[in-house]
């Protein structure tokens, strides 16, 4: 005998079948909260000071020497991973050395001229 509720006369299979196109219920995927931590970038203060002092050294000689010193300190900290700005520290050192050399050349020439002038004055 057929099922009176089944108009097509199919026998029940004993299993519940989903209607066509519907997927079985699945719980939504669990969402995990991931706390994002802010990593502070390494300090670049000495590298910046090196470059700034070296550039100011174009006007006065003494800050260029400080730029060289700060550059060596910043470069060693950057290599150890304690600070950033390795390229800026190198730039500060290079500019500091060049500026110091440019300031020393006239000083050395003036010293040579003074020694020669004093030597020439004693000869006559």
pLDDT (tens digit per residue) in 40-76: 667 789 999 999 999 999 998 889 999 999 999 999 9
Question: Is the pLDDT score of 105 beyond 90?
Answer: yes
Instruction: Supply the pLDDT for residue 16.
Output: 56
Question: Is the pLDDT score of 3 beyond 70?
Answer: no
Long-range CB contacts (within 8 A, 24+) of 70-75: 70/46, 71/47, 71/96, 73/46, 74/44, 74/46, 74/47, 74/49, 74/50, 75/47
Torsion angle defined by CA atoms of residues 22, 25, 26 and 28, in that order, rounded to the nearest 10 degrees: 100
């Amino acid at each position: 005998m057929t099922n009176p509720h089944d108009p097509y006369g199919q026998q029940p299979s004993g299993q519940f079948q989903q209607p066509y196109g519907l997927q079985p219920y699945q719980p939504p995927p669990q969402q995990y909260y991931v706390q994002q931590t802010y990593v502070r970038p390494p300090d670049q203060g000495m590298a910046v000071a090196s470059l700034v002092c070296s550039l100011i050294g174009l006007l006065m000689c003494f800050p260029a020497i400080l730029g060289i010193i700060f550059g060596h300190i910043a470069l060693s900290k950057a290599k150890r991973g304690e600070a950033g700005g390795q390229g800026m520290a190198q730039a500060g050192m290079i500019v500091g050395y060049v500026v110091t050399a440019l300031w020393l050349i006239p000083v050395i020439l003036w010293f040579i001229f003074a020694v020669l002038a004093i030597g020439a004055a004693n000869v006559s």
